Structure 1
């Protein structure tokens, strides 16, 4: 039997994967053991953060396949990822399944997509086998783009994005973990079944959630100015604004069939994602 460990099991993606695997998951790597989810089979819980190489190495010793869910947005997230990857290789992990980003590249329009590309390179150079799940932006997050007034504002124009439900990303990861050898050194681009604009999304969310949403296009200058009161961190400003410019530039508009190929079912729609289906 393959020994499987999962990080991020308190989140929507890692948690869904862990619950679905049940007794087939051997170890959960968590920052806070008090938040450990109830999983059939009671997998072992190890405490470690991505930034703590020694703790990660100890937590991963004896693990053959690791689901490495990308860490929370932070200025040093790339270094955290690199530390975790080194620790996994030193612990003897043979295969890493990493949740990356559609369009990950050293010059990705979405600035955090660059971190994902560099993390992929660290994994490629580690000697471990790998599977990259390059997911698009999350459909579930669309309401969070809006302010308290329901207005989504950003420099996206009429650009479209093939956003994907987090549940579909989890289902794809589950399929890979059920047969890791069949997916060694493979990259999958996980998208929804359609590319939608913010204006489309606002109209559909209004109908689905029963409260008004709208989209207002902004210039770059307006986008930065409206967000500067929220943070003094330039990396965070760039990440927020480039979410919209990446969509506006068409970098995330393509759809793929990878969700259905991996899971056997069609990608969820915006309405299904909002309903938690």
Structure 2
């Protein structure tokens, strides 16, 4: 791989993909941002060239055009849907046909054909597609995002779900992005001899918390008043979400978010974030404290 060819970044309008693109650009690496809506693509001033290409994962012709001349790409998993694996399959095949040599993919910590978190099965199926594609790949198996945990609480300040006293080693989105950047830069430099080729990393935070502990931290630092955890039964969990009118696959995903925690599948912490980035992963407390801190240029409260 050469430093003159652009690195493709999908999901650049989101928190993870946007941070990846920003850091690669700051490092002087040419980019091609593959987005569904070019008007929403981030803008960078000066430095290495940044191209923008429009494509959705299922539009294989558009993906092939978007990835022409690209050898290395960051593939953020598609939005949750009933046919997400088919979208991923279309993108991977188009990437292979366009000449991409290596994909870095955001997978899930519990990826397995029988994962309790039902969407983890989609990620496992996608990893299998990558293995069969002939492309080099790196799977970043992210635990649940720590940034999302405060939003599990409803407007009444209650986190509801059948998680029991299970623990989750949630990872900050910033640490996922930093890990992806480290892998992309190494693969760009080392190519097929990189140790990241066909490698799987499990990205977690520094600690595993119960949802009662999460509620305590959000109560203390979230700035929204008291938050508590209510341990629903599985039947209660389905009933409390039925009013949203979501399809069965989505209800299963919502409820299995909590049952996966209950089983302990998401409790293990790993050193992979620090191994890849050189810095320790962020804790939920640090994230919440950072959200409360005055931002540069902001008026003090």
TM range, smaller chain: over 0.9
Matches within 5 A, 1:165-244: 165-180=172-187, 181=191, 182=194, 183-210=196-223, 211-244=225-258
TM-score between both structures, scaled by the size of structure 1:
0.97
Matches within 5 A, 1:139-178: 139-178=146-185
Residue 77 of structure 1 corresponds to 84
Query: Which range moves more in the overlay, 216-225 or 173-182?
Result: 173-182
Deviation at 1:88, TM superposition (A): 0.4
Distance 1:231 1:69 in 2: 27
Distance 2:234 2:44 in 1: 45
Residue 21 of structure 2 corresponds to 18
Matches within 5 A, 1:115-154: 115-154=122-161
Deviation at 1:100, TM superposition (A): 0.2
**Is the 1:231–1:237 contact (alpha carbons within 8 Å) kept by the matching residues of 2?**
no
Distance 2:34 2:64 in 1: 11
Distance 2:44 2:82 in 1: 32
Q: 1:272 aligns with which of 286, 296, 299?
A: 286
**Is the 1:190–1:256 contact (alpha carbons within 8 Å) kept by the matching residues of 2?**
yes
**Is the 1:17–1:174 contact (alpha carbons within 8 Å) kept by the matching residues of 2?**
yes
Structure with higher Rg: it is 2
Consecutive unaligned residues of structure 2, counting only runs of 5 or more, are 294-301
**Is the 2:150–2:222 contact (alpha carbons within 8 Å) kept by the matching residues of 1?**
no
Distance 1:116 1:57 in 2: 22
Consecutive unaligned residues of structure 1, counting only runs of 5 or more, are none
Alignment: residue pair count? 277
Distance 1:244 1:231 in 2: 19
Deviation at 1:42, TM superposition (A): 4.3
Distance 1:102 1:225 in 2: 27
Q: 1:37 aligns with which of 42, 63, 69?
A: 42
Q: Deviations over 1:116-173 (max 9, x none)?
A: 0001111111110010000000000011111101100000000001000000000000
Distance 1:44 1:192 in 2: 33
Residue 8 of structure 2 corresponds to 5
Corresponding residue SS for 1:133: strand
